[in-house]
Amino acid sequence: ADQIPETMSLYARRTYSVIRFDAKLASLQDATYDFTGGAHEVLGEHAIDWDVALGRPLSFADIFAPGAKWQDFVTAWCVKDLKVQFDEGAPAPDASAVGGVATDIGNWMFDRNEAVVHFTVYTVASFSGGEYDVRIPYRVLKPFLKPGAVVG
């Protein structure tokens, strides 16, 4: 059986970042950094969005109006923004990969004026390419938002 050498440093760290916390919504990012050997640590990031008034996790059904075609709009917005953020000469982000991230509530954080879609390492770029945040102002999302949504 493989054994861990005594000189090997292993660690695990977890952090929480508060994006918004008020009477309506708690939006946090949970980040983990684990090193178990290799070239770099393993990163994990996940959004936790909680509807305070309803006492439950926020879902896209709580945010977007039924029948609103928000997925295509958000994916296109993210692709365009990521192209600007990528280094010059880098290939354009894959729209399918972007859509996969953008349609997962676990990648969304909400502050008072905008939604943030977070792209962790390896979702649209290599580890060295980094992670990206795409900000979408609520005024832009307004045509897709459910009336009375906790965001916007």
Confidence grade of residue 42 (pLDDT, cut at 50, 70, 90): low
- Please indicate, yes or no, whether the overall pTM of this predicted structure exceeds 0.75: yes
Mean model confidence pLDDT for the chain: 84
How many alpha carbons lie under 13 Å from residue 106 in its C-beta half-sphere?
A: 8
Confidence grade of residue 40 (pLDDT, cut at 50, 70, 90): low
SS3 for 19?
strand
In 3D space, the residue among 74, 138, 139, 140 whose CA is nearest the CA of residue 105 turns out to be 74
pLDDT > 70 fraction of the chain, expressed in percent and rounded: 81
Confidence grade of residue 111 (pLDDT, cut at 50, 70, 90): very high
Token pair recorded at residue 51: 């509807």
Mean pLDDT across 32-52: 78
pLDDT recorded at residue 67: 87
Q: Is the pLDDT score of 60 beyond 70?
A: yes
Mean pLDDT across 81-105: 82
Q: What is the 3-state secondary structure (H, E, C) of 71-128?
A: HHHHHHHHHHHHHHHCCCCCCCCCHHHHHHHHCCHHHEEECCCEEEEEECCCCCCCCC
Rounded distance, CA 140 to CA 115, Å? 10
Sheet holding 25-35, edge to edge: 11-21, 25-35, 42-51, 56-57
Rounded distance, CA 136 to CA 17, Å? 19
